[in-house]
Amino acid sequence: MERILVPTDFSAPARHATDLAATLAGKAGATVDLFHAVDVPDGYVEAHFVTAANATRSPREQQALYPEARRRVGRARQRLAEVGRKLDARKVANTHTVGFNLAWKDIAHLAEERRADLIVMGTTGAGGVRRALLGSNTQKVVRLAAPPVLTLRSAAPKRIANVVLLADTHARDAADRLERLLPLVAGFGAKLHLLHVNTPARFEDTDTSLERLRKLEEALSGSCKVHVTDHYTVAEGAIAFARRAGMDLIGVSTHGRRGVRALLNASTAETIVEHADIPVLIDHLS
């Protein structure tokens, strides 16, 4: 792991994400790329001229037309620099970038541009009609960004000792999905647990599920404990198991959703991100 992208709005969840990213970067010798998006008027875009009237003005002259936007951008840079200095104190290499308005698009683009190996970001979780209709920035990043995304809403445990990996024993590529997750969680040095959730729509007896899980475990390069639980949905089952068994992180591989279907029916991964109390690692398969 060489680069970790951390979008921040300077909220408590974002600070927790930055702290976890710093810990991971310190262990891996990686660089943390900090990113913050500032809401600005349409006419204020650095080094771009969005109107004919502004085409004759320099970027500095153009930005001077929007003093409040300039102040917000300046404050954002100062706050990012403050966070950067704290990372410097932890001997974590870092950069910081200010973007404008549509944060989730910039995050996905910056992750690709910087070739980020991981995105770590805070989430406020579910709540509110606007969030239900439009989806949070975190949901959109989980859905669209190419690198794996690690989300959390509260401070991560001091030590991530137990990681549960969600396994779909019916999927043909189940072993490949899990094998992709293993190196992402290896840095935690945690005990690994494989979980299959039986739901009414795809129910099978526990012995059959355990047998499938044991075959998966044998195919993996790492050693895992296996578990089966029953619930109404996979997401609810994963969250309930994690709480009951004292897990510190949930790992999920997902193909995600696209288009209208994504707006009307959030994927299992997105649902877990919105409702889990512990960190969630999403590996978004192409």
Residue 139 pLDDT: 75
Residue 264 pLDDT: 40
The rounded distance, in Å, linking the Cα atoms of 70 and 44 is 9
Average pLDDT over residues 163-191: 88
The rounded distance, in Å, linking the Cα atoms of 23 and 247 is 19
> In this model, does residue 60 exceed pLDDT 70?
no
What does 10-38 look like in DSSP terms, one character per residue? SSHHHHHHHHHHHHHHHHHTPEEEEEEEE
More confident residue, 241 or 76: 241
Residue 186 pLDDT: 86
List the beta bridge partners of residue 149: 119, 282
Alpha-helix runs per DSSP H in 186-219:
206-219
More confident residue, 30 or 262: 30
CB neighbour class for 199 (10 Å; exposed up to 12, middle 13-18, buried from 19): middle
Q: pLDDT tens across 84-121, in order?
A: 999 999 999 999 988 877 677 778 888 899 999 999 99
Residue 220 pLDDT: 85
> In this model, does residue 148 exceed pLDDT 90?
yes
Tokens at residue 195, please?
């979980």
What count of other Cβ atoms lies within 10 Å of the Cβ of residue 239? 22
The rounded distance, in Å, linking the Cα atoms of 137 and 14 is 12
Residue 278 — very low, low, confident or very high, per pLDDT cuts 50/70/90? very high
Residue 156 — very low, low, confident or very high, per pLDDT cuts 50/70/90? confident
Average pLDDT over residues 142-157: 86
- CA neighbor of 106 nearest in space, from 37, 152, 40, 46: 37
pTM summary value: 0.84
Q: pLDDT tens across 11-58, in order?
A: 898 999 999 999 999 999 999 999 998 877 666 665 444 454 455 555
Alpha-carbon separation of residue 90 from 14, 27, 66, 73 (angstroms): 18, 11, 37, 26
Average pLDDT over residues 251-273: 67
Domains of the chain: 3-152 (3.40.50.620), 162-284 (3.40.50.620)
The rounded distance, in Å, linking the Cα atoms of 265 and 79 is 37
